[in-house]
Amino acid sequence: MERESLLTVLMILLGGVALQLIGAWLSTYRRSKPGCEPERAAWLRLWRPLLPALLVAAWLCGWALSQPDPVPDRVGPLVFIVCAPFVLIIIRALLRAGWSLLRSPEPFGIATIGLIRPRIVMVPELARRLDERAILAALAHERAHVRHLDPLRIWIAQFITDLQWPWASARGRFETWLAALEHARDDEARAQGIEGADLAAALVASIRFHRAGSVGPCATLIGDRSALEARIARLLQPLPGTIKDRTPTMLQVALLLTMALMVAVALGEIYGERLVVGPLLAVS
């Protein structure tokens, strides 16, 4: 059998099993209250369930490096049957990601749209209903979304959440991150001199332009509707002081992940055939 074909099948099988097991395990924990953790911590928590699947994939890549091409092994029908649900989950996630890009945008008051080159769009009627200070506040919030490429990050976050379907805990982590994202952009706007009350006024006025439900891969002023009440109350309080964020930086995470993946590749090259692939193919 062609080595890369067998590698792909094994990645889907073992990566899918790892993702589902971690999804089941994390579902036993209560979801955290939206907006209670820093945005970066919530973003990393969104990705954490993918770590075992990535390590498994790296292990298998290490195994493939030690094998001839084509490999003498072949997989039995049982492996393809077990793989089928994982393939369907991947196809569903891809279709949803594609559909969210193709469908026409839903009505909104003000939002940041565009994955690669985000831009701010605002309904003229909303601008007429807001005073100048509220418009500046709404624009400052959206400019923060533009700076961080948030529409693209929302689209990616939705995709990795869909890869963890059907576990509700994945959806909970996604919503927690969305709430933390809006708090972070509110704080960024206020740190530039915007009054929380002006931002709250813009937020309340723009609600009437949104229908309930998702608005696709765009960052809106409203954000997660379930956390609106707490967010408005927060905006009417003085800006929280700077709290030392102990979350690892993206550079630290990238370095640790690279090291872990390299170790997994090395271990896969040495032990892959003996410990996992050989016994797996023998029983299939």
Interface with Zn ion (CB under 5 A):
182, 223
Q: How far is the CB of 220 from Zn ion (least distance, A)?
A: 6
Q: How far is the CB of 223 from Zn ion (least distance, A)?
A: 5
Is the Cβ of residue 37 or residue 187 nearer to Zn ion in the bound state?
187
Is the Cβ of residue 217 or residue 223 nearer to Zn ion in the bound state?
223
Helix (H) or strand (E) run with residue 119 in it: strand 119-122
C-alpha–C-alpha distance, residues 90 and 13, integer Å: 12
Is the Cβ of residue 12 or residue 141 nearer to Zn ion in the bound state?
141
Is the Cβ of residue 56 or residue 138 nearer to Zn ion in the bound state?
138
Q: How far is the CB of 219 from Zn ion (least distance, A)?
A: 5
Q: How far is the CB of 193 from Zn ion (least distance, A)?
A: 18
Is the Cβ of residue 39 or residue 182 nearer to Zn ion in the bound state?
182
Of 20, 158, 154, which Cα lies nearest the Cα of 92?
158
Q: How far is the CB of 222 from Zn ion (least distance, A)?
A: 7
Structure tokens at 222: 């409203």
Q: Is 217 exposed, middle or buried (0-12, 13-18, 19+ CB in 10 A)?
A: buried
Give me the torsion for CA of 174, 159, 151, 214, rounded to 10°. Answer: -60
C-alpha–C-alpha distance, residues 257 and 147, integer Å: 26
Structure tokens at 236: 């009417």
Is the Cβ of residue 222 or residue 277 nearer to Zn ion in the bound state?
222
C-alpha–C-alpha distance, residues 151 and 112, integer Å: 7
Length of the chain, in residues: 284
DSSP, res 110: E
Q: How far is the CB of 149 from Zn ion (least distance, A)?
A: 13
Q: How far is the CB of 96 from Zn ion (least distance, A)?
A: 22
C-alpha–C-alpha distance, residues 66 and 109, integer Å: 57
Structure tokens at 181: 């994202």
Kindly list the distances between the CA atom of residue 267 and the CA atoms of 53, 73, 243, 284, in Å, as whole numbers in the listed order. Answer: 15, 20, 40, 23
Is the Cβ of residue 175 or residue 182 nearer to Zn ion in the bound state?
182
| Residues 146 and 120 sit within 8 Å (Cβ to Cβ) | yes
